[in-house]
Amino acid sequence: MSYNTFGREFRFTTWGESHGPALGATVDGVPPGVPLDEAFIQQFLDRRRPGTSKFTTQRREADQVRILSGVFEGKTTGTPIQLMIENTDQRSKDYGDIASSFRPGHADITYHLKYGIRDYRGGGRSSARETAARVAAGGVALAALNHLVPKLRIVSYMVQMGQMHLDRANFDSSAIADNPFFLPDAGAVDAWADYLDGIRKDQNSVGAAVEVLIEGCPPGLGAPVYAKLDTDLAAAMMSINAVKGVEIGEGMGAAALTGTENADEIRMGNDGPIFNSNHAGGILGGISTGQPILVRFSVKPTSSITTPRKTINQHGEDIDLITKGRHDPCVGIRAVPVAEAMAACVILDQFLMDRAQTGGVRGKIG
């Protein structure tokens, strides 16, 4: 079983290799009547696109998405939506080294061991380029959510890059779109840029942590006990290339808290329950409370660095390898719009799952 499909009700299957003719996503389960066109999806691809700053790979892909099916006269029809992105910048070059060598930290060796064959050009299927297809699918999910849950807002941003940490006292979501780090603190951008420049000049790379904030999510989403909302969000983030940890609310820090510290007490408000704190990150028992949902994840440093590393090749010979090519010094940056897309897909999927079982009717309080 190969598993290139994400979701249950809202499902997308990504396909394509880094240096093949095209890649894309086959999206199924979209409700009919949702306004959708290529321009709407394109804006999300543009945010993710490599080559937009000196901190992301200089590969220049137009990343133009085409909708090949499922949309008629500007609206979804309920049939599968095929999103295709042609690969336009596969430089003709000698892949001799990568073809038979295993880059440390890469999936080269595990794909070889599992399949006995791999498209080695640019990492093939294991390339982060696959995330372009997710972002396109996420665009469809966001269009559907705008239609079905208009109050919902999803935003993602960096909270850490190596030794640099977001100062939450300065949190300003309006700053996110205006800097190459998706950093919600305009005043810290220059320092982060200097730091990353240093990393780059050292032929090195660095890890990152990204946060996703989901506001306006209705209560009741999440399907106990093996499709909990937090389970789905964790799986979605962990499926992104290079992610090594996922946290909901207090996350790993919950291990250090006591019950009195961690309790989110409740009082009744005019429009429903009001929680006095949000250690839970908006989810209890796997089901959304109506509070903001907070997900955080770490991204390991780019494995492809120009400092030589010890490794082996397919012949079982010890070699030293320098990974040439165009690579980001911090792949975590490009994970930011991907996380937003994945979160949108999870929320839409759970919304549709809930609508199936409960009809969207909520239990009453008061």
Interactions with a second copy, residue window 228-247 (CB under 8 A): 228, 230-232, 234-235, 238-239, 241, 244-247
Span interacting with a second copy, options 43-51, 68-76, 90-98, 185-193, rule CB under 8 A: 68-76
Residue 277, Cβ neighbours under 10 Å: how many?
12
Q: Considering the complex, state which of residue 15 and residue 171 has its C-beta at the smaller distance from a second copy.
A: 15
62 near a second copy (CB under 8 A): no
Between residue 311 and residue 350, which ones bind a second copy under the rule CB under 8 A? 311-312, 314-318, 332
Binding residue numbers: 48, 54, 125-127, 241-242, 285, 300-304, 326
Q: 49, 56, 105, 132: which one contacts a second copy (CB under 8 A)?
A: 105
Q: Are 183 and 157 in contact (CB under 8 A)?
A: yes
Q: Considering the complex, state which of residue 215 and residue 264 has its C-beta at the smaller distance from a second copy.
A: 264
What length does the chain have?
366
Q: Are 19 and 124 in contact (CB under 8 A)?
A: yes
Taking the C-alpha atoms of residue 195 and residue 237, their distance in angstroms, rounded to an integer, is: 26
Between residue 121 and residue 150, which ones bind a second copy under the rule CB under 8 A? 124-126, 130
Q: 51, 78, 216, 325: which one contacts a second copy (CB under 8 A)?
A: 78
CA 352 to chain centre: 21
119's CB contacts (< 8 A; 6+ apart) are 17, 18, 19, 20, 125
Tell me which DSSP letter residue 271 carries.
T
Structure-token pair, residue 298? 């770490």
Cα–Cα distance list, 283 to 13, 150, 151, 257, 295 (Å)? 27, 20, 18, 18, 11
Beta strands 65-67; 22-28: pairing state = unpaired
Q: Considering the complex, state which of residue 211 and residue 340 has its C-beta at the smaller distance from a second copy.
A: 211
Q: Which residues lie across from 209 on neighbouring strands?
A: 160, 298
Q: Considering the complex, state which of residue 81 and residue 136 has its C-beta at the smaller distance from a second copy.
A: 81
One-letter amino acid of 210? V
Smallest distance from the beta carbon of 325 to a second copy, in angstroms? Answer: 14
What kind and span of H or E run contains 298?
strand 293-299
Q: 42, 52, 77, 278: which one contacts a second copy (CB under 8 A)?
A: 77
Smallest distance from the beta carbon of 196 to a second copy, in angstroms? Answer: 11
- Give one word for 319, left, alpha or beta, with left for phi > 0 and alpha for psi -120 to 50: beta
Q: 45, 98, 107, 214: which one contacts a second copy (CB under 8 A)?
A: 107
Q: Are 36 and 75 in contact (CB under 8 A)?
A: yes
Between residue 164 and residue 223, which ones bind a second copy under the rule CB under 8 A? 199, 204-209, 219-223
Q: 53, 172, 197, 252: which one contacts a second copy (CB under 8 A)?
A: 252
Binding residue numbers for NADP(+): 48, 54
| String of contacts with a second copy for each residue 260-299, x by CB under 8 A | xxxxxxxxx----x--x--xxx-xxxxxxxx-----x-xx
Taking the C-alpha atoms of residue 341 and residue 238, their distance in angstroms, rounded to an integer, is: 13
- Interface with a second copy (CB under 8 A), residue total 161
Smallest distance from the beta carbon of 14 to a second copy, in angstroms? Answer: 7
Cα–Cα distance list, 188 to 145, 259, 348 (Å)? 32, 35, 34
Q: 3-class SS at 137?
A: helix
Smallest distance from the beta carbon of 198 to a second copy, in angstroms? Answer: 11
Binding residue numbers for FMN: 125-127, 241-242, 285, 300-304, 326
Taking the C-alpha atoms of residue 215 and residue 291, their distance in angstroms, rounded to an integer, is: 7
Smallest distance from the beta carbon of 26 to a second copy, in angstroms? Answer: 4
Q: 58, 88, 110, 170: which one contacts a second copy (CB under 8 A)?
A: 110
Q: Considering the complex, state which of residue 98 and residue 280 has its C-beta at the smaller distance from a second copy.
A: 280
Span interacting with a second copy, options 35-43, 54-62, 63-71, 175-183, rule CB under 8 A: 63-71
Residue 53, Cβ neighbours under 10 Å: how many?
12
Span interacting with a second copy, options 35-43, 50-58, 61-69, 185-193, rule CB under 8 A: 61-69
